Structures are given as structure tokens and as C-alpha cells.
């Protein structure tokens, strides 16, 4: 990705016959991607009687499904639990350790992600592009993905490693000062490992009745970032584009999936992407799966994408 | 303007000049400010590990000291111009310049949120430096948390990682965490690694060229030693040379 140009819209080739509202994404090479009727129809087909869109998780028949233990009472400082051999069972098989280097330091680092398509991993945008913390080299180095990685398991790396093909982060993340509501992105892999690991679903929501589950690779539990941990929490606040929750989190868990444990009609459907800890001492937050984000996720799921880098654009 | 008025005018000018001098004197003296404990947010206690981008980009790298987990957590702190940088000495706070921050200085960063990647990153709302930073007060992380291992340098070779020159060390040593005695390979000193030697008053920072085979060292890595993937690059965050 290139540093922000002074006139970000000047290089794009818009179709004058189509309204601006139909623009879905902008490519780094000046191409404009428009919404399609197929995509609109797909979105509508997944809207339930309450008007909520639910995109189901996809789980191969051969894959065991992890039956969640009884939710813990969320009180105290640390309610996380280690994942053991369940790293080969869904949903933990679809949680991905993303390893890379920042080009200004060269040090190996990591984030967490989750497979949403057979070659697409959702993570936090700040793991892919961060001009605040890395102003001289804001784009992180090429990512290597390890689905289900867990050194606490008898099978620590059950799906091997997969290298990055390309990535996108929201246009607004780069050009609008990296606001938290746009802190999500996609890493596309060379290969289709999602066929074996299963895929997370995603859904809109108006309220959460159960516990939120969040799983990733926290630095404090293993400072080599190879242990998969999960934990429960509750919603502490909702904003139109952000979810706040009480799950215990730590560095290394940026990009982790957040889903409602045991939600009946859309199990393992993510409602947020974990991004940051907040200063109130009790909450973490992440961008909420809603509106435009949902559209982009569906776009990834349905493989309408072209093989080039596209940056999604918000419709005002 | 009569003589009387001229006298008053002259006195006013003199008073203005004196008050101007007085203001200048106050600015030159370290300004004493009240403690800023009222700042809310996350408080991150650690030490400064890199100041390469302090002046050019208002960034410092720190290692957060997590004593309960015995880890040093690497992080990047952006300090916007509006965030006060204060030196805290004996309960008194005075302004401190970003260009005077040095590696090894104890620091508390106050921020409204922390991005939870590795390294973590945050935008400071306030920065409190908890020592003055002269040589004798610099503080290795390993004075609070245990190093990953201790041992003797057996071999040093030059190498390259991601375009950066490194020194690769082979260490015969003991893992502090599990007390296992093994040979650690692929340990790399980068230009960001802190190399400490003990002095009579405390610790001093040294250049990589100071390291030679045969030295007894304590090593804290940027991350835990990676035994899962053999050959992995394991950069050193801090190395303390205990003896020749």
C-alpha cells in the first residue's frame, strides 16, 4: 500500500453511468468496484424475520465441533482458559496465528485472526497497516498464517503454515486517521486451508443475551505467542460501530474473533473483531459487525473479489 | 505629555520590562506543576528501550514491566505535541523534553486505550519519567523480571535478518523458567538490543562490539525462545554482561 496521496480520489476511474452510492471499494490501481445485484440478493436472502442478517459458519463434516464448557461466572481478574487438543476442533481450528515483522524494526511479532472464507482471514487493521506506530514503514511485512496453532496441544500446528497473497484494510482506516471503528482488515492466503478448518460465520445483532467468547494468542500467557487461550465476558457497552466487552485480553489478541457463546440460530457467528483495551480498566472493544462491515464480509465470503487490492469505501 | 506624565510613562515601561524579565526567568526555571494523578486511563509502567524516532516522529519504544507474569512487553508509544511530558522527582513534576529521553529511563505512560497487537501500541495522553536518566540511574528490565536464560557466550557470528545486520550468538546456558540446561542457538543481537554492563554505581549501556565469547551473560529476549520452529529468529531485548 502506498502512503496517503494528497487527493485520494483523483486517480480512480468512476463509471459516470452509475451512482456514487453503488461504489463498494477502490483498488490501489485506480479501479472501482461496484455493488452487484447478486451481492444485494445474497445479503437479503440471509436476513431473518427480525430483519437481522446472519451468515452461518461453515463446518466440514469431518471436523469435530467443540462443545463449549459451561460458561464461567465472569467475576475477578482472569477468566481465561487454555485450549488443549481442541485446536483441531471447530471453532478453534479456524482461529489463526498471524506472524510477521514490522519493517522498521525487523522483529518477529504476531496478531490473531479468524477464517471467514477458505483463503481469507479477518484480523485487526492495525496489524496490517499502522502509520501511527510505524510512520516510516506503515505496512507490515508479509504475513504467515498458522490456523489452529497451539503449543499446548499434542498436534501443535495441525494445518501447517500459509503465506499471504494480498490484503485489504478499509480506505477510511488509512485516510481518516485510523479510527477504531475501521480497525479491521483481511489477509488473503495462497491456498484454501479454510476448506479443512471450517469458517466462522458473522451476524448483526441488537442485543446480546449470553456470554461473549473471545479466543487468541495472548502475550502474557506465552510470550512466544503459540498458546491458544479462550475466555468469556459480557457486553459492557454498545455503540453503533463498536462493541465493548468485559473479556480479559492482552497484547497479541488483536484481531481475535468475538462471538456469542451458544447463540442458537447462528452458532460461531462473530459479532466483533477484537482490537484494543480501553482506559476504564474493565472493557475491551472492537469494531462491530454491522452495516458496511457486514457487506464487506459477505463480499469476501462469496468470492466476488478480483485478484487485486481493493479498499472498501463507506457510503455516506 | 507633561513631565509628570512622562515620569509615570517611564515607570510603566520599566515595570513592563521588569515583568518581562521576570517571566523569562520563570520559564528558564523548571516549572513546578501539581501531581497529575487526576489523569484517567491506562497506566503503563516500564522502561524506555528505543528513542530512534523520538525527535523525528514523536515515538518511543518501551518495554512494559509486568511483574506478576514476569514478562517485559514490547510496545510503541506515540507522544502527540499536546501530551505533557513530565519528570517526576520526589513528588515534584517538571516539564521534560522528548529529545532528552534516554534508553533505560523508567517511564509511566498514561493512555486512553491500547491496541493489543505485539508489540502493543498506544497514543499517550501524558508521559511521566520517573528518573532523570543519568548513567547511574538507568535500569535494566531484568532488575524487575527474570531473564529468559543465563549462560556463557560460546560463539558469535555476523548475520542479517530482514535487511538488518545482526550478531548471532550461541549460548551454553540454563533456562530460568524451567531450569533446563540447553544450548541456545539463533539468539540475535540487533541494533535495538540493550547491552548492559555493571558499573560501581549501577548499569551502563554498551555497543554490540563489547560482546566476546567467554562472557557470562543474562538474556531477556524480545519474546520467549521459540523452540516450536527451529531456526527462528530470536532477537534479544536486553543482555547483561555479568563477567568477562
Residue A269: inside a domain: yes
Task: Tell me: do A17 and A106 sit in the same domain.
Answer: no
Cα B31 to Cα B96: distance, rounded to the nearest angstrom? 10
pLDDT number for residue A158: 97
Confirm or reject contact between B190 and chain A (CB < 8 A). yes
How close A236 comes to chain B (CA, Å)? Answer: 16
Which chain B positions have a beta carbon within 8 Å of A187's beta carbon?
none
Q: Chain A: give the shortest CA distance to residue B219, in Å.
A: 15
Contact residues, chain A, for B231 at CB < 8 Å: none
Closest partner CB to A156 (pick from B41, B115, B228): B228
Q: Give the CATH number, domain containing residue A116.
A: 2.40.10.10
Predicted confidence at residue A11, as pLDDT, reads 64
Helices (H), chain A: 37-45, 171-175, 194-197, 291-301
Residues A259 and A278 occupy one common structural domain: yes
A22 with A71, same domain: the answer is no
Any A CB within 8 A of B111 CB:
yes
* Residue pair A255/A111 in contact by the 8 Å Cβ criterion: yes
Q: Write the CATH number of the domain with boundaries B42-139.
A: 2.40.50.320
pLDDT score at A118: 86
DSSP-derived pairing of the beta strands B71-78 and B120-129: parallel
At residue A286, the pLDDT reads 97
Q: What is the pLDDT of residue B179?
A: 76
CB contact under 8 A, A107 and B235: yes
Looking at the domain assignment, is residue A313 inside a domain? no
Taking CA–CA distances from A150, the nearest residue in chain B reads B228
Question: d(Cα A274, Cα A123) in Å, to the nearest integer?
Answer: 8
Query: Residue B151's Cα: distance from chain center in Å?
Result: 25
DSSP A76: S
**CB-nearest partner of B112 from A156, A250, A279:** A279
b/e string for A100-138 if b means 16 or more Cβ within 10 A?
bbbbbbbbbbbbbbbbbbbbbbbbbbbbbbbbbbbbeeb
* A22 occurs within a structural domain: yes
Domain ranges within chain B, ordered by starting residue: 42-139, 144-243
The residue of chain B nearest to residue A282, with distances taken between CA atoms, is: B42
Indicate whether A252 belongs to any domain.
yes
Do residue B73 and residue A220 have CB atoms under 8 angstroms apart? yes
Domain count, chain A: 3
Q: Do A96 and A159 belong to one domain? A: yes
A296/A192 same-domain check: yes
Are residue A157 and residue A222 in the same domain, yes or no? Answer: no
SS (H, E, C) chain B: CCHHHHHHHHHHHHHHHHHHHHHHHHHHCCCCECCCCCCCCEEEEEEEEECCCHHHHCEEEEEEEECCCCEEEEEEEECCCCCCEEEEECCEEEECCHHHCCCCCEEEEEEEEEECCECEEEEEEEEEECCCCCHHHCCCHHHCCCCCEEEEEEEEEEEEECCEEEEEEEEEEEECCCCCEEEEEEEEECCCCEEEEECCCCEEEECHHHCCCCCEEEEEECCCCCCCCCCCCEEEEEEEEEEC
Low-confidence residues of chain A, pLDDT below 50?
Answer: 1-6, 72-75, 304, 306-309, 313-316
Distance CA A112, CA A252 (A): 7
| CA-to-CA dists, residue B103 to B8, B189, B222, angstroms | 55, 16, 16
Same domain, yes or no, for A33 and A80?
A: no
**Which residue in A has a C-alpha nearest to residue B59's C-alpha?**
A133
ipTM reported for the complex, 2 dp: 0.84
pLDDT tens digits, one per residue of A247-297? 999 999 999 999 998 888 888 999 999 999 997 878 999 999 986 777 777
Q: What is the pLDDT of residue B125?
A: 96
Q: Other C-beta atoms within 10 Å of A50: how many?
A: 10
Contact B73 A253 (CB under 8 A): no
CA A48 to chain centre: 23
How far does the CA of residue A222 sit from the closest CA of chain B (Å)? 7
Q: Say if residue A195 is in the same domain as residue A298.
A: yes
Are residue A113 and residue A194 in the same domain, yes or no?
yes
Inspect the interface and report whether the beta carbons of A108 and B235 lie closer than 8 Å: yes
pLDDT (tens place) for every residue of chain B, 244 residues total: 444 555 455 555 444 444 443 333 333 334 445 455 546 789 999 999 999 999 999 999 999 999 888 899 999 999 999 999 999 888 889 999 999 999 999 999 999 999 999 999 999 999 999 887 665 568 899 988 999 999 999 999 999 887 888 999 999 989 887 777 878 888 999 989 999 998 877 888 999 999 999 999 999 999 888 777 767 889 999 999 997 6
User: In this predicted model, what pLDDT tens digit does every residue of B4-35 receive, in sequence order?
Assistant: 555 455 555 444 444 443 333 333 334 445 45
Is A186 found in the same domain as A97?
yes
User: Residue B19's pLDDT is what?
Assistant: 42
Choose among A106, A225, A284: nearest Cβ to B118: A225
Which residues form the domain of A112? 92-199+292-303
Nearest to A105 among B111, B114, B192 (CB): B192
Contact B113 A224 (CB under 8 A): no
Amino acid at each position: 500500500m502506498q502512503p496517503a496521496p494528497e487527493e485520494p480520489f483523483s486517480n480512480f476511474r468512476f463509471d459516470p453511468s452509475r451512482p456514487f452510492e453503488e461504489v463498494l471499494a477502490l483498488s490501489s490501481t485506480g479501479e472501482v468496484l461496484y455493488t452487484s445485484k447478486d451481492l444485494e440478493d445474497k445479503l437479503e436472502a440471509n436476513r431473518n424475520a427480525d430483519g437481522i442478517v446472519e451468515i452461518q459458519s461453515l463446518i466440514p463434516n469431518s471436523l469435530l465441533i467443540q462443545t463449549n464448557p459451561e460458561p464461567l461466572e465472569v467475576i475477578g481478574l482472569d477468566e481465561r482458559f487454555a485450549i488443549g487438543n481442541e485446536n483441531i476442533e471447530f471453532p478453534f481450528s479456524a482461529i489463526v496465528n498471524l506472524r510477521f515483522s514490522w519493517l522498521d524494526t525487523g522483529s518477529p511479532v504476531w496478531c490473531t485472526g479468524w477464517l471467514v472464507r477458505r483463503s481469507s482471514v479477518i484480523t485487526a487493521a492495525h496489524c496490517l497497516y499502522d502509520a501511527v506506530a510505524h510512520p516510516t514503514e506503515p505496512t507490515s511485512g508479509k504475513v504467515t498464517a498458522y490456523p489452529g496453532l497451539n503449543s499446548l496441544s499434542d498436534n501443535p500446528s495441525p494445518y501447517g503454515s500459509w503465506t499471504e497473497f494480498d490484503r485489504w484494510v478499509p480506505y477510511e482506516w488509512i485516510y481518516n486517521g485510523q479510527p477504531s471503528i475501521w480497525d479491521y482488515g483481511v489477509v488473503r492466503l495462497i491456498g484454501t486451508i479454510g476448506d479443512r478448518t471450517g469458517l466462522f460465520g458473522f451476524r448483526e445483532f441488537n442485543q446480546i443475551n449470553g456470554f461473549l467468547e473471545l479466543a487468541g494468542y495472548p502475550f502474557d500467557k506465552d510470550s512466544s505467542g503459540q498458546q491458544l487461550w479462550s475466555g468469556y465476558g459480557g457486553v459492557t457497552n454498545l455503540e453503533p460501530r463498536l462493541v465493548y466487552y468485559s473479556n480479559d485480553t492482552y497484547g497479541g489478541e488483536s484481531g481475535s474473533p468475538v462471538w456469542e457463546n451458544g447463540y442458537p440460530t447462528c452458532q460461531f457467528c462473530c459479532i466483533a473483531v477484537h482490537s484494543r483495551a480501553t482506559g476504564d480498566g474493565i472493557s475491551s472493544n472492537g469494531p462491530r459487525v454491522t452495516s458496511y462491515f457486514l457487506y464487506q464480509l459477505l463480499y469476501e465470503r462469496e468470492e466476488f473479489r478480483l485478484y487485486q487490492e481493493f479498499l472498501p469505501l463507506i457510503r455516506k | 505629555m507633561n513631565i509628570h506624565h512622562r515620569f509615570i510613562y517611564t515607570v510603566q515601561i520599566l515595570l513592563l520590562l521588569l515583568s518581562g524579565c521576570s517571566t523569562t526567568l520563570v520559564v528558564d526555571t523548571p516549572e513546578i506543576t501539581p501531581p497529575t494523578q487526576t489523569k484517567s486511563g491506562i497506566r503503563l509502567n516500564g522502561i524506555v528501550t528505543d528513542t530512534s524516532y523520538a525527535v523525528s516522529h514523536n515515538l518511543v519504544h518501551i518495554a512494559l514491566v509486568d511483574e506478576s507474569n514476569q514478562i517485559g512487553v514490547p510496545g510503541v508509544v506515540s507522544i502527540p505535541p499536546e501530551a505533557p511530558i513530565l519528570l517526576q522527582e520526589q513528588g515534584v513534576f517538571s516539564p521534560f523534553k522528548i529529545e532528552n529521553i534516554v534508553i533505560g529511563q523508567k517511564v509511566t505512560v498514561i493512555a486512553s486505550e491500547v491496541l493489543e497487537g505485539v508489540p502493543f501500541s498506544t497514543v499517550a495522553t501524558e508521559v511521566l519519567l520517573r528518573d532523570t536518566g543519568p548513567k547511574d540511574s538507568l535500569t535494566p528490565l531484568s532488575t524487575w523480571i527474570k531473564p529468559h536464560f543465563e549462560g556463557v557466550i560460546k560463539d558469535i557470528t555476523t548475520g542479517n535478518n530482514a535487511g538488518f545486520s545482526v550478531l548471532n550468538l550461541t549460548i551454553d546456558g540454563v533456562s530460568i523458567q524451567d531450569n533446563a540446561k540447553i544450548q541456545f542457538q539463533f539468539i540475535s543481537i540487533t541494533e535495538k538490543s540493550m547491552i548492559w554492563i555493571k558499573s560501581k554505581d549501577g548499569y551502563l549501556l554498551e555497543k554490540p562490539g563489547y560482546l566476546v565469547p567467554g562472557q557470562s551473560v543474562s538474556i531477556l529476549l524480545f519474546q520467549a525462545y521459540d523452540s516450536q520452529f527451529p531456526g527462528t529468529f530470536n532477537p534479544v531485548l536486553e543482555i547483561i554482561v555479568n563477567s568477562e
